[in-house]
Structure 1
Amino acid sequence: MNPVRKVEGRAIPFGRKNVDTDVIIGAEHLKTIARAGLGAHAFESVRREPGNVFDDPAYAGAPILVAGDNFGCGSSREHAAWALADMGVEAVIAPSFSDIFSGNAFKNGIVTVALAQPKVDRLCEVARDHSIAIDLEVMAVTTTRGDVFHFEMDPFRRGCLMEGLDEIALTLSSEAAIRAYELKTGI
């Protein structure tokens, strides 16, 4: 996992509430264990809607998704986080997230930022024409329009994201202690 200290750029102003993992990536794409290529299928049902933000060239390659309340609800498919990452999304801002989705996003290096609905509404408005930045060091979302929204994040998750530590890297960082324990106990 790559270290994440700051995510900045255009943001997709999606804003829709109660987006479940089946909307993020349809069940027909769950047969693969390959992460590559899933981004092309992300939000397929939404992309069938005329004028959807996901096919707007202004947001092509945007690293931030601004979503509505209860983002990632539904089933526990990790493919949803894989699809977002494959489409280039490095962070999602919403009023709230499903616990399972938030955990899967974290394990895949995607930053989830919870902000109050009025702040999310403002970011959706600003994202139409301006850039957004998420800074994990100062714990703030800023815009080129002068907005500053501070947020909270679990310190463990924040540290892992900033250091690029997934579960394997976190375990390997204790390799010397693990080896010492094995030698001591004869394991």
Structure 2
Amino acid sequence: MQTRVEDHVPLLTGVLSIVSLAVVFAAALQVVPTDALPTAPDAVLEAIPTLNAVVSLAAIGTIAAGIRAIRRGDVDRHRTLMLTSFGLFVAFLAMYLYRVSLLGPSSFAGPGVVERFVYYPVLAIHILLAIASLPPVYYALLLALTRPVGELPSTNHARVGRIAASLWLISFALGIVVYLLLHVLF
């Protein structure tokens, strides 16, 4: 099985990216039947944005620490931190998708001028970077999981990983800004 995955990393990257985006858009557009989802108490649904902000902060920390680890040559620590980052991303996404499937996207309650010139631009960049980060994140992850560490320097793992980490960091940071605009400031 590993040989098959190793031979088809670009194809699997595309498939995972498309499936991930389809799931996200299905949830955001509320195509998922809410009857199929377990219902959480209102307090849990209300806590999800704050939990996701905390998860995002943790992911920023693990991504930054992972970058630092690989720059120091600590491959094992880098791998652990980047897998942790991916796990945090999955936790974030699961909570976000659950909440948005049940309640729909959050509405901005602040002034129209802030909505138009701050909130929407920040949200748009956050969403675009989140979408753009999926293929390089999956590609770097699949390369790392399907090849021995000694072979990774002969692949695009490091180059694509730098792109993935940069997009991921900015997207997580802007997600926190979106959270602050939606749930703290307004």
The structure with the largest helix share of the pair is: 2
- Of structures 1 and 2, the one scoring higher in RCO (CA 8 A, sep 6+) is 2
TM-score category by the smaller chain? under 0.3
Q: Between Structure 1 and Structure 2, which shows a larger proportion of strand residues? A: 1
* TM-score normalised by the chain length of structure 2: 0.28
